[in-house]
Amino acid sequence: MTKPTPRYALIAVTALTGLLCAVGLWRVLTVLPLQFPFDPNEGWNAYHTAALMSGHALYPGPEAYLVNNYPPLSFYVVGLVGLLVGDNIIAGRIVSLLAVAAIGVAMTVFARRQGASRNIAVLPALWFVAGLLVTTDYVGMDDPQLLAHAVSLAGLIVLMRTSRHAVAAAAALFVAAFFVKHAVVALPAASFLWLLIEDRRRAFQLAGYGLGFLVAGLLAFRLGYGVSLFAVVATARGYSLDQLTAALLHWLSWTAPAIVALALLAWFVRESAVRFVALYAAVAIVIGSYFLGGAGVDPNVMFDADIALGLGLALAVHKLDGWKRPLAAAIAVAPLFVIVATDKDWQAAYLDRPVVKAEAFIAHGDIAFMAAQKGLGLCEMLAFCYWAGKPVAVDMFNVGQAFETGARSDAEVARAVQAKRYAVIQFDPGEPYALGENVYQALMQSYRLHHSDDFGTFYVPK
């Protein structure tokens, strides 16, 4: 019998990681065309896209109860796809899935350009996508985060070229990514710092072009929408060090091996590509960790760090030899398989097809119920109101944060609830209720519970 070799062992690790990605993507593709809510972000993005495409204000005034604190570009992209598919949530999911593919291609191209073999070069993309599928619900979600990373990584691939206009094109893509999602700034920052070490002339070119494009974009935003983008994104939001600590520890539970691998690589290998990836990871971890403490913040703020660590993993495995290669790869991906083996909720959502079909059936019933209630709807999961054909009433998260931080009074919404202005109200499962105690007391006084299920509690007027 032929003994296993390091090459085939590495292929086996890569194949198993690819299989994990395939299982996760199967579930995403299964529910992508369904009216099955993934996250409150989906309905929120869909309402803003609908406003844009119908000629209404993309950035309503401070008195509005639908708050838009995102830059504009993703709404245009999703809106154009929405014209083709007829549903802005489904359109956003398609864009998100295509963005994941683009990120994977960019990560593979980067690794190949550093000399990694095909088998090694595909590993960072598989590790990153598997991490998204196991620890988040962002793959195939109507949200601009992954689109922004895809555009930003396109800027990195262009920056690696030595052509005359590469720096200007990279700067334009970095700024475009910012106008898709304003938090995606780690890669351009790390690229500038890296170039300061490697080629100061290109570093200042990147900064100059980037600043020029950014100022032009901000001016165009101000002229087009009548407000400053920085004023738009600076909405009221609570902050918790306890949340930051818990979220960071959860993130470290599956990324720690990759962090160790990159740290060792940066210590022992003094090469340009290694310095870049180490800088990228360090900047991304610092920025992402700060954002993790914000109320309502998801693991998406660590996606830049995940991408950097994936690239570092490819370089580390590439620099190793013999059995160290498959061993390092296996150690890096092992935490994801541990999560899959121990997380019953993940297994039910991704492996149990009857559970998925049952949840889709429940969601369909909830949407039909809400559509049957004639009048306004108030939804924490905004996708329910969107699919039920109801105009948006209140952005519960952002408005709720304004109530909680004292930036805005809850009196008007409480009076509307007390007056039974809404034909149906949906809250997510569990407590506390999103709009605070005063609105909750008005709800208890004027509404009765109609039914509860996995998607929340549904109230109708008494």
In this prediction the pTM is 0.94
What letters, b where the CB count within 10 A reaches 16 and e where it falls short, cover 218-248? beebeeeeeeebeebeebbbeeeeebbeebb
Instruction: Output the CA angle 26-27-31, nearest 5 degrees.
Output: 120
What's the first-to-final CA gap in the chain, in angstroms? 76
Share of the chain above pLDDT 70, in %: 99
- Bridge partners (DSSP) of residue 94 are none
What is the per-residue pLDDT for 62? 77
Query: Comparing C-alpha atoms, which of 333, 274, 324 is closest to residue 111?
Result: 274
Q: Is residue 54 very low, low, confident or very high in pLDDT (cuts 50, 70, 90)?
A: very high
pLDDT at 1 > cutoff 70 = no
Q: Is residue 7 very low, low, confident or very high in pLDDT (cuts 50, 70, 90)?
A: confident
Share of the chain above pLDDT 90, in %: 74
**pLDDT, tens digit, for every residue of 274-292?**
999 999 999 999 999 998 9
Instruction: Report d(CA 36, CA 302) in Å as an integer.
Output: 26
**pLDDT, tens digit, for every residue of 244-271?**
899 999 999 999 999 999 999 999 998 9
Write out the two tokens for 187: 């890669």
How deeply is 327 buried, as exposed, middle or buried, from its count of CB atoms within 10 A (0-12, 13-18, 19+)?
middle
**pLDDT, tens digit, for every residue of 76-120?**
999 999 999 999 999 999 999 999 999 999 999 999 999 999 889
Instruction: Answer for the pair 378, 393: CB distance below 8 angstroms, yes or no.
Output: yes
Which tops the pLDDT comparison, 263 or 6?
263
What is the per-residue pLDDT for 3? 54
Beta-strand relationship, 376-379 and 422-427: parallel
The pLDDT of 380-394, averaged and rounded, is 93
The pLDDT of 43-68, averaged and rounded, is 91
The pLDDT of 328-344, averaged and rounded, is 93
- Phi, psi (degrees; rounded to nearest 5) at 399: -70, -40
One-letter amino acid for residue 371 of the chain: A
Report in angstroms the alpha-carbon separations of 203 from 34, 69, 184, 360: 46, 31, 19, 51
Q: Is residue 238 very low, low, confident or very high in pLDDT (cuts 50, 70, 90)?
A: confident
What is the per-residue pLDDT for 90? 96
What is the per-residue pLDDT for 429? 82
pLDDT at 401 > cutoff 60 = yes
Instruction: Report d(CA 424, CA 434) in Å as an integer.
Output: 16
Please state at what angle helix 324-342 crosses helix 123-135, rounded to 10 degrees: 20
Query: Comparing C-alpha atoms, which of 40, 116, 101 is closest to residue 298?
Result: 40
Residue appearing with tokens 């690239």: 311
